[in-house]
Amino acid sequence: MILKWFRKSKKDYPNFWMDYISHFKNVEKSLIENTRFVAFDTETTGFDKKNDRILSIGAVTFVGKSIHVNNSLELYLEQEVFNPETVKIHGLMKKGSLQKVTELEAIKIFLAYIKNAVLIAHHANFDKNMINEMLLRHGLGKLKNKFIDTGYLFNQSKHVIYRENLKDHYSLDDLCKELNVPKVDRHTANGDALITAIVFLKILSRLDKRKKLQWDYLLS
Amino acid sequence: MKNSIAERIADFLQGYPPFNMLSHRALLQIATEVTITYLEKGDTIFKKDDIEHDNFYIVRDGAINLYYSSDDVKEITNIHDIGDVFGLRPLITKEPYKLTATANEESIVYGIPITVFQSVTDYNTQIHKYLITAFASNAFDPYTAEEAGEIFGDYLPNKSQDMANFQTANYTRSPITCSMESSLKKAAKKMSDHKIGCIVVVDDTKKPVGIITNSDIKNKIATGLFPIETPVTNIMSSPVMTSKKGLTIADGQLQMIKHSIGHLCITKDGTVNSKLIGVLTHHDVLVTLGNSPTVILKEINRAKRTKKLRAARLKGNSLLKSYIEQNIPLSHIINIISQINDAVIIRAVELALKKMPTEPPVAFSWLALGSQGRKEQLLFTDQDNALVFEDVPENRYAETQAYFLELAKLVTTSLNKIGFEYCEADMMANNPEWCKSLTEWKTQFKNWILKPDEKAVLLSSIFFDYNLVYGNESLVNDLTDTIFTTLEKTNLFYKFLGREAIKSPSPLGFFKQFLVEQNGDKKELFNIKSRALMTLIDAARLLILSKQIKGVNNTYKRFEKLAELEPNNKELYESCSYAFKALSKFKTKQGLLRNNSGKFIDLKTLTKEEKLKLRRCFKPIHEIQEILKIRFDLKNFA
């Protein structure tokens, strides 16, 4: 156990990782309206975290209720793993005309982008696992950020009289339909990230009305 | 780097002026710098006297109200819908805002950074002219321009104190016409199909040659002067009076008075020698100026778009305000406003039906629930509604329900746009739970009555006050009959309802002080609905159900009916009826003052006399609770 602890001393981590980690020192709890949120989404070759790879990462940032378009992130990754099955969903081909970056480069950009923001994703566990697995491949630690899952949050936002017949699984499309979010650019990573952000804000306003808005409640 | 969001924003902007005059590259440059803001209903974008923002705005979703506000008045000057630009002042002058912009409903707006916009469009004088016109007219709608280019007509409204008079006249676009060859019978048929009072006769090139009105038909046909098959040219008044578009209400009215006519034809160049584009009727003038219930109702019945319905319903609100100020009896106000509300819903359903690809597969009824069902809704509140459809064979159930769910979605969306907020608990017809066949509904009600539990009681306070607004009457009667037969079988349900009615906390504390909210943002405010009105509503419902009285939904009418049926409790029931009306009036006044539902009352704003009056209203509440306790034997039940 002790050996494992020392196996990788702090010095072995690259600078960009240390920079990322440094954002989590001495963080004070802030009010929800002052908190920096990053909604993100990944497009992958499949659902297996060991064997599948991330093809693109999209993310948008917001504090309060405004999202700046020029502060969004859209990364396309070079990958050797390829699965023709999922191409029809995201439209990303192995050799497309898009400008792509290496996995390591993508990690650097993504970590520098998210910093210590609270991360939001739909069915967040999947995206979290995919990213953590990618970090592991490059000898890095797990993400330190707090996570919010819009799928879980949506369940919580339903009125109590409907709780008993909720579905276990709400897709992002289900949520768009229920919450009247226009489905523009579904299945591009940053389009989905924007939709996730708006879905989150809408659920938040529902919850806010019922005076339930507290941190413990949001963080699944 | 690729930015998919910016690309989609550019695609959106491209559809609306002035952005449609820019190249895709320029749009992309702008779109990359856009700020997307999500707004809840009532959220403010900028307030009067705020220093100017770095952005102007375009509505992406929802609608934004612009208010002119001073200390005590709050007047909506315009409502901007999808694709409309607003907050243009910083583009023109560096002064604080003069108006306040808030979200009329849940909305998304794009903030367009002015520096970027100006650097991209610097040399495009067309765009600048457009924006200045839009800014100055302050009442512009991109759809007003049927053809691109026309929007640059050098129209600037007169600056006048009397805004209504100098508003551009809102004429009927694409009016109903008939050709010179058609028979009067055919023309009259067209008029009655479209529920209109006049039809314009046009030649082959769509120039107006004459006009036929209801009174022409009355005077020339009904009197036997001409046969009904006579050509329209024999009957029509000719030539017609014409005008250019963009004329003001005052101009329109003046011309009508001058020529003693009721209709002005709007043509492309303003003479009889060009294409007809619209008709301005005396009625249109009155609609803009007037505020009478009949005018509002007519306007509702003729509305072709949700936007028009919203405008009409808003007029209903100012009508309500003036009624309350004039101290007109509340029972009368309730009647008129609920008639207006019903008309709005009916029209919304009609418009939704037109949007559906097919006719309804079977008969259906649209029910209003809760306060709307009791016809007690004065201010905009939540919409509660449900849908019943005729029974269908099991194999067709899913598709039938799907049809009505889609219809209901259209209706609830447009009601929301009009101002009726979505029901927080989702008690709306677009929820599969509340959009069912007659048999399913009967089962549902039987369950609630025979196996009452907390949830059933919670829902019954909404669902037992239903009222048919649109559609088939016999479906509803059938449902009502079933409910009353089921009620005969049990007493337990009454006990549950009774417990609910006596459980509401008393409005006054031990020392006769008002009990106010203890925490939250309503702290120190008095909740007039939960502490006073609900008890009266619940008690009236329970008593009227137990007497098996159908079709009396109003709480105050229910008490009047009860006074009739039980002479020995006449006095109490009458004072309950009075208390209900007085409390509703309090609530409405507060709501108008604060532009909300009026549920929470700030006691500091009440005069001593008003407080006394409120206290007087509480007395019968206590007494009616005592009666319920005895009658339904609730002492040991609670």
pLDDT, tens digit, 9 for 90 and up, residues B303-337: 888 888 888 888 888 778 777 776 677 887 888 88
pTM to 2 decimal places:
0.58
Highest mean pLDDT among B492-501, B518-527, B587-596: B492-501
Say yes or no: B390 and B326 in one domain: yes
The domain in which residue A163 lies consists of: 32-218
The domain in which residue B401 lies consists of: 293-490
Q: Chain A to chain B, count of Cβ pairs less than 8 Å apart?
A: 82
Question: Looking at the domain assignment, is residue A94 inside a domain?
Answer: yes
Token digits of residue B139: 């009442």
> In this complex, do A194 and B5 lie within 8 Å of one another by their Cβ atoms?
yes
Q: Residue A161's domain is classified under what CATH number? A: 3.30.420.10
Question: Looking at the domain assignment, is residue B181 inside a domain?
Answer: yes
Q: Is B421 on the interface with A (CB under 8 A)?
A: no
Please tell me the distance in Å from B524's CA to the nearest CA on chain A. Answer: 17
Contact B452, B461 (CB under 8 A): no
- Structural domain total, chain B: 4
Region B232-252: mean pLDDT is 82
Nearest alpha-carbon partner for A52 in A74, A82, A88: A82
Question: Looking at the domain assignment, is residue A173 inside a domain?
Answer: yes
Say yes or no: B459 and B526 in one domain: no
pLDDT digits (tens, 9 = 90+) for B557-581: 999 999 999 999 888 998 899 889 8
Nearest alpha-carbon partner for B307 in B100, B85, B80, B110: B80
Which chain B residues are closer than 8 Å to A210 by Cβ? 424
> In this complex, do B5 and A159 lie within 8 Å of one another by their Cβ atoms?
no
- Structural domain total, chain A: 1
> In this complex, do A70 and B33 lie within 8 Å of one another by their Cβ atoms?
yes
Helix (H) or strand (E) holding B69: strand B64-69
Nearest alpha-carbon partner for B513 in B622, B620, B615, B617: B615
Which chain A residues are closer than 8 Å to B31 by Cβ? 69
Question: Looking at the domain assignment, is residue B167 inside a domain?
Answer: no
**Strand stretches in B454-559, DSSP E:** 467-471, 526-527
Which chain B residues are closer than 8 Å to A67 by Cβ? 35-38
Cα–Cα distances in Å, from A12 out to A16, A17, A104, A140, B330?
A: 12, 10, 16, 10, 79
Kindly identify which residue of chain A lies nearest to residue B454, measuring between CA atoms. Answer: A161
Kindly identify which residue of chain B lies nearest to residue A210, measuring between CA atoms. Answer: B424
Residue B607 has pLDDT above 80, yes or no: no
In sequence order, what are the beta bridge partners of B326? none
Between B519 and A147, where is the model more confident?
A147
What confidence tier does B491 reach under pLDDT thresholds 50, 70, 90?
Answer: confident
Q: Residue B28's domain is classified under what CATH number? A: 2.60.120.10
Domain end marker among B231, B255, B289: B289
Distance CA B203, CA B502 (A): 72
> In this complex, do B33 and A60 lie within 8 Å of one another by their Cβ atoms?
no
What confidence tier does B422 reach under pLDDT thresholds 50, 70, 90?
Answer: confident
Say yes or no: B321 and B465 in one domain: yes
Question: Any idea which of B128-132, B331-335, B410-414, B452-456 has the lowest mean pLDDT?
Answer: B128-132
Region B111-121: mean pLDDT is 87
Domain end marker among B238, B259, B289: B289
Region B409-435: mean pLDDT is 89
Distance CA B118, CA B124 (A): 9
Token digits of residue B357: 């690809």
> Which pLDDT value is given to residue B112?
92
Interface TM-score (ipTM) > 0.85: no
Question: Looking at the domain assignment, is residue A2 inside a domain?
Answer: no
Helix (H, G, I), strand (E, B) or coil at A42: strand
> In this complex, do A66 and B36 lie within 8 Å of one another by their Cβ atoms?
yes
Say yes or no: B485 and B500 in one domain: no
Candidates A70, A205, A207: best to mutate against B (most CBs of B within 10 A) is A70
Per-residue pLDDT 10s for chain A (220 aa) are 455 555 555 557 899 999 999 988 877 777 777 889 999 999 888 888 888 899 899 999 998 888 988 889 999 888 877 777 776 666 676 666 678 889 999 999 999 999 999 999 998 999 999 999 999 999 999 999 999 998 888 887 776 666 666 666 788 888 888 887 877 666 677 788 888 998 998 888 877 665 455 655 666 5
Say yes or no: B474 and B352 in one domain: yes
Say yes or no: B435 and B339 in one domain: yes
Distance CA B127, CA B30 (A): 15
Which chain A residues are closer than 8 Å to B520 by Cβ? 211
Question: Looking at the domain assignment, is residue B164 inside a domain?
Answer: no
Residue B164 has pLDDT above 60, yes or no: no
> In this complex, do A69 and B33 lie within 8 Å of one another by their Cβ atoms?
yes
Say yes or no: B183 and B56 in one domain: no
Which chain B residues are closer than 8 Å to A180 by Cβ? 106, 413
Cα–Cα distances in Å, from B468 out to B74, B365, B383?
A: 35, 7, 14
> Which pLDDT value is given to residue B343?
92
Burial of residue B333, with CB atoms counted within 10 A of its CB: 0-12 exposed, 13-18 middle, 19 or more buried: buried
Say yes or no: B56 and B114 in one domain: yes
Which chain A residues are closer than 8 Å to B459 by Cβ? 161
Please tell me the distance in Å from A71's CA to the nearest CA on chain B. Answer: 9
Say yes or no: B43 and B117 in one domain: yes
| Per-residue DSSP letter, A77 | B
Say yes or no: B185 and B234 in one domain: yes
Which chain B residues are closer than 8 Å to A161 by Cβ? 425, 455, 458-459
Say yes or no: B449 and B545 in one domain: no
> In this complex, do B2 and A205 lie within 8 Å of one another by their Cβ atoms?
no
> In this complex, do B5 and A72 lie within 8 Å of one another by their Cβ atoms?
yes
Region B341-353: mean pLDDT is 93
Positive/negative CA dihedral, B265, B270, B276, B279: negative
Helix (H, G, I), strand (E, B) or coil at B331: helix
Contact A191, A184 (CB under 8 A): yes
Domain end marker among B289, B320, B348: B289
To the nearest whole percent, how much of chain B has pLDDT over 70?
87
Kindly identify which residue of chain B lies nearest to residue A188, measuring between CA atoms. Answer: B4
Please tell me the distance in Å from A155's CA to the nearest CA on chain B. Answer: 14
Distance CA B388, CA B521 (A): 39
**Closest CB to B424 among A159, A180, A202:** A159
Please tell me the distance in Å from B406's CA to the nearest CA on chain A. Answer: 12
Contact A189, A42 (CB under 8 A): yes
Say yes or no: B335 and B421 in one domain: yes
Residue B140 has pLDDT above 50, yes or no: no
Residue B6 has pLDDT above 90, yes or no: no
Q: How does the average pLDDT of chain B come out, rounded?
A: 82
> Which pLDDT value is given to residue A100?
85
Helix (H) or strand (E) holding B323: helix B306-325
Q: Is B566 on the interface with A (CB under 8 A)?
A: no
Residue B147 has pLDDT above 90, yes or no: no
Distance CA B543, CA B535 (A): 12
Between A33 and B24, where is the model more confident?
B24
Burial of residue B598, with CB atoms counted within 10 A of its CB: 0-12 exposed, 13-18 middle, 19 or more buried: buried
Question: Looking at the domain assignment, is residue A117 inside a domain?
Answer: yes
Backbone angles phi, psi at B430, to 5 degrees: -85, 5
Please tell me the distance in Å from B128's CA to the nearest CA on chain A. Answer: 25
> In this complex, do B38 and A198 lie within 8 Å of one another by their Cβ atoms?
yes
Which chain B residues are closer than 8 Å to A191 by Cβ? 4-5, 8
> Which pLDDT value is given to residue A217?
62
Question: Any idea which of B110-119, B391-400, B610-619 has the lowest mean pLDDT?
Answer: B610-619
> Which pLDDT value is given to residue B171?
78
**Closest CB to B8 among A191, A210, A211:** A191
Residue type, B609: E
Alpha-helical regions (H) of A51-188:
84-90, 103-114, 124-137, 150-157, 172-179
Distance CA A208, CA B245 (A): 47
Half-sphere exposure of B301 (CA within 13 A, CB side): 10
Q: Residue B229's domain is classified under what CATH number? A: 3.10.580.10
